[in-house]
């Protein structure tokens, strides 16, 4: 069974995302399935993948979309990879509801 793009943790939400740097605009493009069946959130940012600028832009974009301060979003894994794991601190139920409102329920 495929893993959902996000999952609840005791103090927040863990998200798996696929980033497109230099994407022409900053946007959350929805949920997609990777070739291994895992679900990811597709995110594009204008920033180039240099000196962590794209990672920082992704964190800011997700924080804004979820109504959280930028400090609430942190990179957990994949600093130099396209597929990354992020953590958003806060109420997992409210964060999951916000993501479901943006993208639909996780698969």
* pLDDT per residue as tens digits for the range 20-79: 999 899 999 999 999 988 999 999 999 999 999 999 999 999 999 999 999 999 999 999
- 107 within domain boundaries: no
What does the DSSP 8-state code read for residue 23? -
Over 50: is that where the pLDDT of 107 sits? Answer: no
For position 54, what pLDDT does the model report? 94
- 52 within domain boundaries: yes
Distances in Å between the Cα of 101 and the Cα atoms of 53, 82, 95 are 28, 24, 10
- 105 within domain boundaries: no
CATH of the domain at 19: 3.30.1200.10
How many domains does the chain fold into? Answer: 1
For position 3, what pLDDT does the model report? 74
| d(C-alpha 13, C-alpha 86), whole Å | 8
Could you tell me whether strands 73-77 and 39-44 are parallel, antiparallel, or unpaired per DSSP bridges? unpaired
Find the domain containing 47 and state its range: 6-93
* pLDDT per residue as tens digits for the range 71-85: 999 999 999 999 999
Q: Which structure tokens are listed for 100?
A: 């479901």
| d(C-alpha 2, C-alpha 36), whole Å | 8
- 98 within domain boundaries: no
Let me know: does 69 contact 63? Beta carbons within 8 Å: yes
- 103 within domain boundaries: no
For the chain, the straight-line distance linking the first and the last C-alpha, in angstroms and rounded, comes to 9
- 89 within domain boundaries: yes
- 41 within domain boundaries: yes
DSSP helix/strand/coil, 88: strand
């Amino acid at each position: 069974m495929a893993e959902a793009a996000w999952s609840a943790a005791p103090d927040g939400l863990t998200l798996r995302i696929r980033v497109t740097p230099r994407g022409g605009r900053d946007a959350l493009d929805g949920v997609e399935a990777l070739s291994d069946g895992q679900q990811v959130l597709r995110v594009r940012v204008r920033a180039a993948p240099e000196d962590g600028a794209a990672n920082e832009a992704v964190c800011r974009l997700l924080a804004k979309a979820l109504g959280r301060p930028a400090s609430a979003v942190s990179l957990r894994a994949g600093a130099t990879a396209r597929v990354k794991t992020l953590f958003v601190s806060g109420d997992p139920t409210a964060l999951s509801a916000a993501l479901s409102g943006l993208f639909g329920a996780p698969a």
